[in-house]
A and B are shown apart, each in its own frame.
Chain A
């Protein structure tokens, strides 16, 4: 399972995810408190500068990750153009791009296992609610293991559909896919129990 971590090395890759995440929180809150368009534009320029630092390839990758924002930009622009109220619209758009770009930067420069370790540490206060680090780790592992399997089986069902219909495969194939997921769950639960199971916490 590949993650969105960038293969292009940057100085940010060496910073542990905890501080980056904290800085992101602070920066995001700051962005939301700024109502001045020039400050927002400066903030965006700064963020883009952060992307330029590791080089052109990294910058282009960052832009590609921002591309899916275009419909959102479009909708906001449409509304504000319609109400002849462009300025607040521009502020929203600039703020959104800066916030998303900063968040993407953290994602692009953090290794998956580091982030999982961080999350595991963060949830330790929730132990009393039944959320144990081992369970989380197991859940993540199972997810990563079975996602490709489900995608493959879904693909086969879609092929079965397309071999008998010119229409694109629709909701009908979700039923057998969900059944396969339930069957896989049974099998895996059995395997887990056979290997000792998950012991309930003694609190």
Chain B
């Protein structure tokens, strides 16, 4: 993005709790995240996606707050947009506009840049990925992998300090996943990556295992991933279709 200074943001989750329909989805989570690559693992329903949304300021926690580089991302939405961005699972549930140019321009326009500046920034972002020809392409002509890339480019164009990835490679084939992973490896921003793909997280600085709204384990991938993997295998031996109690 032409940045000489590292854009490595710091996320401070302070006592975040969230209750929905009587269930504690998040239970007093406190985490200080400052290393560049942090992974999140946990079963579906463990609260990972909800935490991702709270961290981005999309959901208000019942208690606690989240600061990104000392900005309260729920109270100060305006500054938050420049601080943290999120990539969801399915680009079809994320892309709002019909062309690549419009989709990538949206966030930048909302951040307050002038029309000319937006056009320039989008052109630069596309060129950086070698996709200058995509500018006027209709989203419906793009493949799933290409749509994922559009979402990624749209988020990166806003130059946040932190990017949250909520299982963004679900359903993609291996070559495309590798390519997108490679792109992510090179960026400066702090990445918080929720994933079921444990292989992708093993080079990360830190992995956090979330279970039923609380932090089960938190540390180096070499420690957390095998423990998590073993626990998942053990559960696999039981009846996984039974209702989850509690």
In-complex A–B contact (CB below 8 Å): yes
Q: Which residues from chain A sit less than 8 Å from chain B, CB to CB?
A: 153, 156-157, 159-167, 172-173, 175-176, 180, 183
Report the Cα distance A162→B56, complex, angstroms. 10
Residues of B in contact, count (CB < 8 Å): 22
Residues of A with C-beta under 8 A to B78:
166
Residues of B with C-beta under 8 A to A159:
53, 58, 88
Secondary structure at the A interface, as helix, strand, loop or mixed, is helix
Contact of A153 among B93, B95, B97, B106 (CB under 8 A): B93
Q: Which residues from chain B sit less than 8 Å from chain A, CB to CB?
A: 53, 56, 58, 77-78, 81, 85-86, 88, 90, 92-98, 106-107, 110, 154, 158
The 4 closest A-B pairs by CB, nearest first: A164-B107, A165-B110, A156-B93, A160-B94
Secondary structure at the B interface, as helix, strand, loop or mixed, is mixed
- B100, chain A: closest CB distance, angstroms: 14
Residues of B with C-beta under 8 A to A165:
81, 106-107, 110
Contact of B77 among A153, A166, A176, A183 (CB under 8 A): A166
* Chain A CB within 10 Å, residue with most, of B94, B107, B110: B94
Contact B77 A164, beta carbon cutoff 8 Å: no
Contact of B92 among A164, A175, A180 (CB under 8 A): A180
Report the Cα distance A173→B77, complex, angstroms. 20
Report the Cα distance A162→B107, complex, angstroms. 10
- A150, chain B: closest CB distance, angstroms: 11
Contact of B110 among A157, A166, A180, A183 (CB under 8 A): A166
Contact of B158 among A153, A164, A175, A176 (CB under 8 A): A164
Contact A160 B110, beta carbon cutoff 8 Å: no
Contact B93 A157, beta carbon cutoff 8 Å: yes
Report the Cα distance A175→B102, complex, angstroms. 13
- B23, chain A: closest CB distance, angstroms: 18
- B238, chain A: closest CB distance, angstroms: 29
Contact A160 B93, beta carbon cutoff 8 Å: yes
Report the Cα distance A163→B151, complex, angstroms. 12
